[in-house]
């Protein structure tokens, strides 16, 4: 995991709620029966009837989608439930450009034409090569009095790309977006004609809607049309799309509005000749379906006109030039192109589909961002409401989960040298990135309460972690209370039992006293936090006999113990990860991240909450009394560390 | 809820103020074609300024593939965003290791060899073989992809506008059900429209009938479409996935001379995909010099084609440098340009494999196209063969299109439109040809690629032969009819191989949606939530639009029940 050990994740309870589909239950049962029971990577059988008895498996590929760092979760006060991004609905409050921080009104967001949706309409552009922001600079060829008058370009301060590379200059330093979009069509056409060298005019006019009945002069013969298409050149995708749209509109208009057509509803225009007599008349009149594919203008009255296909470039038809592909290949192989002359997949993502070479890339207007308010999906209660102004980072409403659920922090318990535990021999803190298998580690789990009510917490964990690496886990004190988050001064006034800062107190107690973790006893306790001790015996990695694998792993660990281990591992994982859970692997192979020791802990908290009026709680069901008993239960995953493949002695 | 609803009212008032301010600034309060968000509080429990009546809002078009998700607004020519699906997208929230990967030590480490199937499997959204697909996981992925697409790129509230999904025309019901139930239960989409991708590709080419060759991820499908209906479909596993695996193996061999397991790949997937997208190309057909001349190519182009062909074959001696597979960020590796054509050659065109060794599911692309054409009725075939549309990722590999066309042309040249093969047939044909001495003297040579005939002459001869045949068959009545018609009606191009470019299925769906054409499959929220997919009526005959069953476009009909049309 990329987070440094130890860490804690919380699983949103919404993961247990299946997608409500009546046909679903039966199906999921079938699939779960089919999956191989011996397969360690097989998905957990999703029999939702028994969901409560299921142990949460942090290693299941699905759990990646329900686990969140505690600080990312929200809390709905109406439903009294944790809310993750999956169980909220979002509404956009405002659009703004992250570069210039100007707000874009909602009417503008969609009206900018194609490729401009949700992009900054001002001067903000990103470099098409390296995505750094581009700056508007003047060309320095103009010196003297009118030094600011020169043509303007966009230039990248990072990779030194300028719009001169694609031959674009601007007359004014303002409104670059409009200037560029005006130029785009022509420049795009020019570039394409560079590729298809025999083509000239970039944009031809396309037929208007009124142009329903093409004049005979337009209706050229079979042989004349290819020449025509070649000469008028290809449209760029946008223009071609508009041409097609215009063509279809004119066809619909000409075919659907017949008064005596029995199928004169809107759909009939697009339907092809379905009626039998129509087909008969087709075949009797012409064997070549001339009327179907030819024009529609001269029709006998009995026959309803039929939509035809696009026939000319101006209608959106595009027959590629026969040597277009060869030209591409030649350009690819040419010396001045090379690997870096071809645009990468990432660079092409937001470019025109025709852009293949670096020269085809255009500067990208900055993608807008949004501020969104969030609501609980089930009760529509507002959970987050930011300020409207883009510049403001404040929130009007923000119900983050950490003010309702205890914040879990994990920390290795550094045993004092006098500790009586036989397994612990050294006084140093265990290296969490390389935990020795079968060597007991003690950890402090601190839960810090942020509510103004005392909370009673019950922790539960499977005694052996799920998965192939079976580590034994014992929570020495699974049931305890946490004090209310009262005034900070209360604690200070209480005296010496706990110094002001929780952190200081913990380290202080550790340093001075010789404490031994005892079963059933809370390790330490403060005003609004409680620490209990977890005893973990890391399991051995699978394939312990397979020394080859071990040695390789070892070797790789040795190579970079100064590096962040998780970093190094991620590269290995990038290819080996199998998120679809389809692996049929022999158990020799160590799955990525299988050596990470993660403990699923079921947290159940109970508290008596006052029926607070000041907090906006809606009229619930049974809240007549002053105090209401509340409970909240969720799975939490504690990432302890990475088990090293070698046995430590 | 009382306090909540007052909050809404406040919000509404506030937004209406700000809206009116904006309007006065822009000076045009409501331009209908821009779909200004009217601040209509009757529909919205939303407080944002984007709330509007659903009719106002542009539909949002999503195209699902097994690797990429394209999304955008109706009426646009290209999708707003294309979102991939990879292991980085399946990580936990707050797990940023994908970003840390750029650090130095990533380069020094060699990725471990992985089986080819796993290597690509991590990058798939789903598999069509749902036997061992965890549908829950697919649902999770879809949910996350949709949410992020809306939040990052579309920047509009999810669930308010109509949703149009472009899907492959054959889709396993469990997957389809997963997609629909995820979308319906997660957001409040009023209705979801399904459109089949081959038909949409045809619409985006401006055609009504075509042969759509979709070189997709998992499989290549060739679909014959006539009047927007799918007539015949054939599929093959020779597609981008196996091409990527082959390229991966090729790069693995390059990076390590001692290859252990032949099926294991030890190069980075992204790097391999980059190589495929940048530098893979396809040779022109051997012996045919790639100068495929359809009837449209005029004489001058025919003349051009000879030097071009030589040009391309001359390129094979060039070398290009690509980043070294073992260490992409620092070293470059010189490899012959022709090497980069080999994976395409091997995977898509099954070079070096005898026809008889090929399974039904792994026919090379050209043969697949030919077989599909063969399966079509002759008149449909004539229409479709001159409207060949290439879509899918593989169609972007330069050279593939002309190669497929050239190979199909040579198959036609060799066998005509007859599925019968064999020595005896050949002998008989030979005899017949000997009888008519003038006709096609070179066809015997054509069977062997070792002695390439000059392509231009043979094809021209073929054309002439075809034309001659046609003229022989014409009866006087036809002649008269045509003479009457020819004055003003252009006969359709048919009977010759011709490629037509399409803007792609997404653009087609965007076009169809912006023309307000209703799809045959329009699933209403309430109805789906009641019964799921089982609620779809299978009894198509009662609805009176049987003929349109596979077209995907609705021609009226009642709306009380819904169907899955081709997906049912």
Among B134, B301, B383, the residue with its CB nearest the CB of A62 is B134
Shortest CA gap A28–chain B (Å): 8
Q: Which domains does chain B have, with CATH numbers?
A: 58-85+122-195+503-536+561-565 (3.30.420.40), 207-237+356-419+482-498 (3.30.420.40)
Q: Where are the strands (E) in B249-387, listed by range? A: 264-265, 319-323, 332-336
- Evaluated on CA atoms A350, A356, A357, A360, the torsion sign reads negative
Chain B hits for A263, Cβ within 8 Å: 555-556
**Touching check for A275 and chain B: CB below 8 Å?**
no
Split at pLDDT 50, 70, 90, the class of A546 is: very low
In this structure, the answer to whether residues A344 and A480 fall within a common structural domain is no
Tell which residue, A536, A533, A506, has the closest CA to residue A435: A536
Which segment of A288-297, A623-632, B220-229 scores lowest on mean pLDDT?
A: A288-297
Q: Which residues of B fall within a CB distance of 8 Å from A370?
A: 151, 155
Among A13-22, A232-241, B233-242, B501-510, name the one with the lowest average pLDDT.
A13-22
Q: Report pLDDT for A416.
A: 55
Residue A526, pLDDT score:
82
pLDDT digits (tens, 9 = 90+) for A64-116: 888 899 888 999 888 888 899 888 999 888 888 888 888 888 777 766 554 55
pLDDT of residue A362: 86
Does A109 fall in a domain?
A: yes
Whether residue A557 is contained in a domain is answered as no
Q: Are residues A329 and A376 in the same domain?
A: no
Q: What mean pLDDT comes out for the span A430-457? A: 85
Per-residue confidence (pLDDT) for residue A267, from 0 to 100: 41
Q: Kindly report the backbone phi and psi dihedral angles of residue A122, in degrees, each rounded to the nearest multiple of 5, phi listed first.
A: -100, -135
* Whether A134 contacts A126, CB under 8 Å: yes
- State whether A487 and A349 are in the same domain: no
> How many domains would you assign to chain A?
3
CA-CA distances (angstroms) from residue A299 to A209, A294, B207, B485?
A: 20, 11, 21, 10
Q: Do B320 and A333 touch (CB under 8 A)?
A: yes
Residues sharing a CB contact under 8 Å with residue A391, sequence separation 6 or more, in sequence order: A101
- Which residues pair with residue A602 across a beta bridge? A460, A635
Helices (H) and strands (E) in chain A, counts: 14, 22
Average pLDDT over residues A2-6: 75
Long-range contacts of B304-310 (CB under 8 A, 24+ apart): B304/A323, B305/A322, B305/A323, B305/B456, B306/B456, B308/A323, B308/A326, B309/A326, B309/B284
Q: Does A373 touch chain B (CB under 8 A)?
A: yes
What is the distance in angstroms between the Cα of B164 and the nearest Cα belonging to chain A?
18
In terms of Cβ atoms closer than 10 Å to its own Cβ (0-12, 13-18, 19+), residue B121 is buried
For A345-387, what is each residue's pLDDT tens digit? 888 888 888 888 888 888 888 888 889 999 998 888 899 999 8
| Residue A38 pLDDT > 60 | no
**Do A175 and A104 share a domain, yes or no?**
no
pLDDT at position A147 is 54
Kindly indicate the confidence band of residue A206, based on its pLDDT and cuts at 50, 70 and 90: very low
Q: Could you tell me if A337 and A477 lie in one domain?
A: no
Predicted pLDDT at A384? 92
ipTM: 0.75
pTM of the complete model: 0.75
A6 preceded by a cis bond (ω within 30 of 0): yes
- A41 in a structural domain: no
**Mean of per-residue pLDDT scores for chain A:** 69
Does the CA dihedral A482-A486-A491-A494 come out positive or negative?
negative
Are the CB atoms for B145 and B85 separated by under 8 Å? yes
Question: How far apart (Å, rounded) are the C-alpha atoms in residues A345 and A351?
Answer: 10
Q: Are residues A359 and A387 in the same domain?
A: no
CA A242/CA A250 separation, integer angstroms:
12
Amino acid B370: pLDDT: 92
Q: What per-residue confidence (pLDDT) applies to A548?
A: 38
Whether residue A199 lies within 8 A of chain B, CB to CB, comes out as no
Structure tokens at A263: 């199928």
For residue A203, which of A334, A313, A329 has the smallest C-alpha distance? A313
Q: In 3D, which of B303, B458, B384 has the Cα closest to residue A322?
A: B303
CA dist., res. A340 & res. A337, Å (int): 7
**∠ CA B471-B475-B479, rounded to 5°:** 80
Contacts of B265 in chain A (CB under 8 A): 575
Domain membership of residue A583 (yes or no) is no
Asked whether residue A488 falls in the same domain as residue A601, the answer is: yes
Report pLDDT for B437: 62
Q: How many CB atoms lie within 10 A of CB B470?
A: 11
A479 in contact with chain B, both atoms CB, cutoff 8 A: no
Task: Give me the residues paired with residue B194 across strands.
Answer: B165, B521
B333 contacts B374 by C-beta, under 8 angstroms: no
| Shared domain check, A347 and A378 | no
Report DSSP state, residue A233: -
Tell me which residue in B47, B90, B481 faces A61 most closely, judged by beta carbons: B90
Asked if A105 reaches chain B (Cβ–Cβ under 8 Å), the answer is yes
Q: List chain A residues with CB under 8 Å of B492.
A: 288-290, 292-294, 309
Distance CA A104, CA B50 (A): 12
Range with the largest mean pLDDT of A268-272, A333-337, B389-393:
B389-393
SS3 assignment, position A220: coil
| A343 and A357 part of one domain | yes
pLDDT of chain B, 568 residues: tens digit per residue: 334 333 334 344 443 434 333 433 333 333 333 333 333 333 333 333 333 344 457 789 999 888 889 998 888 888 888 888 888 778 888 777 767 655 444 444 456 677 878 888 888 888 888 888 888 888 888 999 999 999 888 888 888 888 999 999 888 888 898 899 889 988 888 889 899 999 999 999 988 899 999 998 888 999 999 988 888 999 999 999 999 988 888 888 887 765 555 667 888 888 888 888 888 888 887 654 434 333 333 333 333 444 445 566 666 677 888 887 777 677 788 888 888 888 888 888 888 888 778 888 888 999 999 999 999 998 899 989 889 999 988 888 888 998 999 999 999 988 888 888 788 887 887 888 888 765 554 544 444 444 344 444 344 444 444 444 545 566 777 777 666 665 555 667 778 888 998 999 999 999 998 888 877 888 888 888 887 887 777 655 444 444 444 445 554 444 567 777 777 7
**What is the predicted pLDDT for the residue at A374?**
92
pLDDT at B278: 86
Q: What angle do CA B159, B161, B166 make, to 5 degrees?
A: 90
A388 and A524 inside one domain: no
Tell me the percentage of chain A whose pLDDT exceeds 70. Answer: 58
Which range marks the domain in which residue A61 is found?
1-16+55-73+406-416+430-493+519-542+592-613+625-648
Paired tokens of B318: 């060039």
Please, which pLDDT band fits residue A182 given cuts at 50, 70 and 90? confident
Q: What is the pLDDT of residues A123-135, one digit of tens each?
A: 888 998 888 998 8
In a shared domain, residues A460 and A529? yes
Element counts in chain B: helices (H) and strands (E) = 20, 14
pLDDT(A335) > 80:
no
- For residue B322, the model assigns a pLDDT of 83
Residue A372: inside a domain, yes or no? yes
**Size of chain A, expressed as the number of residues it contains:** 649
Residue A502 in this model has a pLDDT that exceeds 70? no
Angle value at C-alpha A457, between A432 and A51, nearest 5 degrees: 85
**B240 vs chain A: nearest CA distance in angstroms?**
15
Mean pLDDT of A602-630: 65
Residue A26 located in a structural domain: no
CB neighbours (10 Å) of residue B477?
9
Tell me which chain B residues have a C-beta less than 8 angstroms from the C-beta of A295: 488-490
Residues of B in contact with A576 (CB under 8 A): 111-112, 114, 118
Mean pLDDT across the stretch A161-177?
Answer: 84
Q: What is the pLDDT of residue B519?
A: 79
pLDDT at B212: 93
Pair type for strands B60-64 and B68-73: antiparallel
Is a pLDDT exceeding 70 seen at residue A420? no
Q: Is residue A310 part of a domain?
A: no
Q: Confirm or reject contact between A540 and chain B (CB < 8 A).
A: no
A94 plus A61 within the same structural domain: no
Asked whether the beta carbons of residue A105 and residue B76 sit closer than 8 angstroms, the reply is no
Q: Would A329 be classed as within a structural domain? A: yes
């Amino acid at each position: 995991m990329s987070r440094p050990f130890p860490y804690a994740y919380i699983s949103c309870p919404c993961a247990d709620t299946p997608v409500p589909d009546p046909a679903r239950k039966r199906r999921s049962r079938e699939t779960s029966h089919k999956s191989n029971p011996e397969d360690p990577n097989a998905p957990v059988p999703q029999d939702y009837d028994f969901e409560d008895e299921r142990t949460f498996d942090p290693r299941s590929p699905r759990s990646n989608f329900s686990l969140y760092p505690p600080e990312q979760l929200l809390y709905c006060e109406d439903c009294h439930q944790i809310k993750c991004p999956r169980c909220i609905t979002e509404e956009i409050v405002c659009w703004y450009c992250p570069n210039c921080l100007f707000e874009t009104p909602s009417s503008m967001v969609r009206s900018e034409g194609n490729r401009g949706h949700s992009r900054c309409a001002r001067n903000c552009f990103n470099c098409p090569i390296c995505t750094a922001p581009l700056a508007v600079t003047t060309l320095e060829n103009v010196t003297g009095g009118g030094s600011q008058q020169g043509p303007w370009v966009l230039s990248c301060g990072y990779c030194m790309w300028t719009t001169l590379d694609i031959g674009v200059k601007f007359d004014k330093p303002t409104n670059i977006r409009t200037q560029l979009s005006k130029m785009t069509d022509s420049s795009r056409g020019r570039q394409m004609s560079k590729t298809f060298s025999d083509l000239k005019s970039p944009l031809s006019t396309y037929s208007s809607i009124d142009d329903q009945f093409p004049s005979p002069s337009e209706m050229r013969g079979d042989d004349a049309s290819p020449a025509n298409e070649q000469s008028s050149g290809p449209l760029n995708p946008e223009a071609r799309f508009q041409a097609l749209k215009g063509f279809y509109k004119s066809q619909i208009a000409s075919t659907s509005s017949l008064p005596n057509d029995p199928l004169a509803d809107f759909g009939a225009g697009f339907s092809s000749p379905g009626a039998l007599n129509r087909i008969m008349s087709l075949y009797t009149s012409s064997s070549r379906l001339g009327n179907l594919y030819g024009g529609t203008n001269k029709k006998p009255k009995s026959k309803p006109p039929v939509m035809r296909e696009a026939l000319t470039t101006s209608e959106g038809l595009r027959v590629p030039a026969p040597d277009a592909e060869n030209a591409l290949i030649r350009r690819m192989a040419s010396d001045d192109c090379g690997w870096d002359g071809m645009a990468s997949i990432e660079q092409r993502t937001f470019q025109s589909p025709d852009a293949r070479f670096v020269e085809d890339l255009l500067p990208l207007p900055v993608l807008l961002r949004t501020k969104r308010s969030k609501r609980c999906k089930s009760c529509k209660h507002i959970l987050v409401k930011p300020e409207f102004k883009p510049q403001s980072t404040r929130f009007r409403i923000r119900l983050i989960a950490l003010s309702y659920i205890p914040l879990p922090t994990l920390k290795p318990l550094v045993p004092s040298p006098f500790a009586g535990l036989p397994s612990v021999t050294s006084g140093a803190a265990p290296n969490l990135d390389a935990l020795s298998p079968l060597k007991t580690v003690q950890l402090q789990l601190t839960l810090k309460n942020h509510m103004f009510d005392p909370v009673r917490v019950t922790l539960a964990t499977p005694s052996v972690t799920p998965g192939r690496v079976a580590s034994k886990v014992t929570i020495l004190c699974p049931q305890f209370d946490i004090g209310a988050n009262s005034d900070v001064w209360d604690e200070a006034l209480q005296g010496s039992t706990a110094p002001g800062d929780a952190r200081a107190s913990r380290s202080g107690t550790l340093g001075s006293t010789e404490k031994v973790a005892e079963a059933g006893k809370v390790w330490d306790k403060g005003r609004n936090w409680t620490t209990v001790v977890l005893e973990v015996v890391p399991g051995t990695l699978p394939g312990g006999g397979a020394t080859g694998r071990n040695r390789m792993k070892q070797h790789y660990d040795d190579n970079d113990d100064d590096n962040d281990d998780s970093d190094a591992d991620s590269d290995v994982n990038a290819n080996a990860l199998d998120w679809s859970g389809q692996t049929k692997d022999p158990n020799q192979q160590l799955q990525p991240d299988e050596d990470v020791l993660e403990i699923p802990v079921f947290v159940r908290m109970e508290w008596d909450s006052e029926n607070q009026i000041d907090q906006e709680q809606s009229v619930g069901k049974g809240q007549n009394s002053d105090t209401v008993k509340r409970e909240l239960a969720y799975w939490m995953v504690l990432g302890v560390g990475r088990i090293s493949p070698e046995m430590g002695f | 809820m009382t306090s909540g609803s007052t909050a809404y009212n406040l919000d509404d008032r506030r937004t209406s103020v700000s809206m009116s301010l904006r309007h006065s600034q822009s000076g045009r309060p409501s331009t209908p074609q821009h779909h200004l968000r009217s601040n209509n509080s009757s529909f919205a429990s939303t407080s944002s300024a984007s709330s509007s009546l659903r009719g106002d809002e542009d539909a949002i078009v999503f195209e699902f593939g097994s690797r990429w998700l394209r999304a955008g607004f109706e009426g646009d020519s290209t999708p707003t965003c294309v979102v991939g699906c990879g292991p980085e997208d399946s990580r936990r929230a707050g797990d940023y290791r994908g970003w840390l990967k750029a650090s130095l030590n990533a380069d020094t480490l060699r990725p471990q060899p992985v089986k080819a199937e796993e290597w690509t499997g991590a990058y798939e959204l789903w598999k069509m073989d749902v036997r061992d697909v965890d549908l829950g996981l697919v649902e999770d992925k879809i949910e996350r992809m949709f949410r992020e697409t809306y939040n990052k790129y579309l920047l509009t509230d999810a669930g308010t506008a109509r949703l149009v999904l472009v899907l492959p025309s054959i889709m396993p019901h469990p997957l389809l059900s997963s997609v629909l139930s995820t979308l319906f239960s997660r957001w409040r989409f009023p209705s979801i429209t399904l459109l089949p991708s081959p038909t949409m590709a045809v619409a985006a080419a401006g055609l009504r009938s075509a042969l759509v060759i979709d070189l997709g991820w998992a499989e290549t499908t060739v679909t014959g479409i006539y009047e927007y209906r799918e007539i015949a479909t054939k599929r093959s596993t020779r597609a981008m996935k196996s091409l990527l695996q082959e390229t991966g193996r090729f790069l693995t061999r390059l990076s390590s001379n001692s290859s252990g397991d032949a099926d294991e790949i030890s190069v980075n997937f992204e790097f391999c995909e980059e190589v495929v997208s940048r530098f893979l190309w396809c040779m022109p057909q051997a012996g045919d010099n790639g100068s495929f001349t359809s009837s449209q190519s005029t004489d001058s182009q025919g003349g051009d084609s000879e030097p071009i062909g030589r040009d391309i074959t001359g390129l094979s001696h060039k070398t290009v440098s690509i980043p070294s597979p073992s260490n992409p960020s620092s070293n470059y590796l010189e490899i012959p340009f022709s090497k980069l054509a080999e994976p395409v050659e091997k995977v898509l065109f099954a070079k070096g494999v005898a026809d008889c060794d090929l399974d039904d599911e792994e026919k090379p692309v050209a043969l697949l196209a030919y077989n599909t054409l063969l399966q079509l009725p002759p008149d449909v075939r004539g229409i479709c063969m001159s409207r060949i549309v290439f879509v899918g990722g593989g169609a972007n590999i330069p050279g593939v299109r002309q190669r497929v066309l050239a190979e199909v042309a040579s198959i036609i040249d060799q066998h005509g439109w007859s599925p019968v093969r064999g020595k005896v047939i050949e002998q008989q044909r030979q005899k017949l040809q000997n009888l008519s001495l003038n006709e096609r003297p070179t066809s015997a040579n054509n069977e062997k690629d070792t002695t390439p005939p000059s392509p231009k002459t043979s094809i021209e001869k073929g054309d002439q032969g075809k034309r001659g045949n046609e003229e022989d068959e014409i009866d006087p009545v036809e002649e008269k009819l045509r003479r009457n018609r020819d004055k003003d009606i252009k006969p359709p191009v048919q009977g010759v191989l011709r490629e037509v470019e399409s803007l792609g299925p997404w653009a087609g769906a965007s076009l169809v949606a912006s023309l307000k054409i209703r799809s045959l499959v329009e699933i209403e929220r309430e109805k789906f939530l009641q019964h799921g997919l089982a609620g779809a009526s299978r009894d198509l005959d009662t609805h009176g639009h049987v003929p349109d069953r596979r077209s995907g476009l609705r021609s009226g009909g009642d709306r009380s029940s819904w169907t899955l049309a081709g997906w049912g």
